[in-house]
Amino acid sequence: MTNKTDTLTDRQLVEKVLAGDTNAFAAIIKNTEALVAQIVFKMVDNKEDRRDLAQDIYLKAYKNLPGFRFGSKLSTWIAQVSYNTCLDYLRKKKLVLQDTVYDGYDEEEELPGINNKLSLEFTAGDDKSIFRKELSGILKTEIDRLPAVYKTLITLYHNEEMSYEEIAQVTQLPEGTLKNYLFRARKALKNSLLQHYKKEDL
C-alpha cells in the first residue's frame, strides 16, 4: 500500500511539516536516511557517535526547515546539514579532514581501469563476477582509509552520482576547490592501491 506522503513534492512535504504533520517529516527522513548514513559513515568512525550525529542532523533539519528556501533539492540541503554537522564533530575532535599536499590538478586524470562509478571492467571468463566482487571490496577498503572529506567527496560523486554543483552545495566548497579535492582523493586512492596491491592485479 502506497503511503500518501510518498508522492508529495519537496515543497508539499515541507509545507505539511510546518503545518504540524509529523508523518511528513517521517517521510523526509525515509527519503534521505540512506544519503545521511553515507555521509555520517564516511566522515565518522566512532559507531556510538554516528547514532548521536544522525539524530542531531535531523533535529537541526527540523529546527531549520522554516528557513529552507528551495534553492536546492531538499535531500541536497539535508546532506549539507549532515556534512556540516560531521565537519563540526571532526573539528572538535581535531581529526584530519584532508591532506595538505597539492601536486597539481588534472581533471582528466582517473584511476587506471576505473570508470566514473569506481567499478572495474574485466575480460575474465567464469570468474569475472567473483573477481569484480573481490576488487570492489579492495576499493571500499582503500576508500575507507582516505581522510574523511576525501572519502565523502568520492562517495557523493561516484556512489550517490551527485553533480559537482550539488556537491558544492552540500560542502559549501567552490567548484574549483571541490575538483582539486576530488583529484587529490583519486590520486591518494590510486597511490594506496598501487602500494598495497600489484599493478597487474588492478
Report the pLDDT value the prediction gives residue 110, as an integer from 0 to 100. 42
CA distances from 77 to 41, 52, 64, 148 (A): 18, 19, 11, 20
Instruction: Give 145's pLDDT tier (boundaries 50, 70, 90).
Output: confident
Report the pLDDT value the prediction gives residue 140, as an integer from 0 to 100. 80
Asked if 111 and 135 touch (Cβ cutoff 8 Å), the reply is no
Segments forming the whole domain that contains residue 82: 4-93
Which CATH number characterizes residue 41's domain?
Answer: 1.10.1740.10
Task: Say if residue 146 is in the same domain as residue 88.
Answer: no
Domain boundary among 93, 122, 149: 93
Q: Into how many domains does the chain fold? A: 2
Task: Say if residue 74 is in the same domain as residue 161.
Answer: no
What is the distance between the alpha carbons of residues 42 and 153, in angstroms, rounded to a whole number?
Answer: 9
Long-range pairs for 56-64: beta carbons < 8 A, 24 or more residues apart:
56/85, 57/81, 57/82, 57/85, 58/29, 60/85, 61/28, 62/17, 62/25
Task: Say if residue 25 is in the same domain as residue 121.
Answer: no
Task: Say if residue 16 is in the same domain as residue 113.
Answer: no
Which CATH number characterizes residue 158's domain?
Answer: 1.10.10.10
Task: Say if residue 51 is in the same domain as residue 148.
Answer: no
CA distances from 201 to 7, 166, 198 (A): 46, 34, 5
**Span 38-89, pLDDT tens digits:** 999 999 988 889 999 999 999 999 999 999 999 999 999 999 999 999 999 9
What is the distance between the alpha carbons of residues 15 and 13, in angstroms, rounded to a whole number?
Answer: 5
Domain boundary among 56, 76, 93: 93
Task: Say if residue 147 is in the same domain as residue 88.
Answer: no
Residue 114: is its pLDDT beyond 70? no
What is the distance between the alpha carbons of residues 167 and 82, in angstroms, rounded to a whole number?
Answer: 12
Residue 127: is its pLDDT beyond 70? no
How does DSSP assign 63-117, residue by residue? HHGGG---SS-HHHHHHHHHHHHHHHHHHHHT---S--------TT---TTB-TT
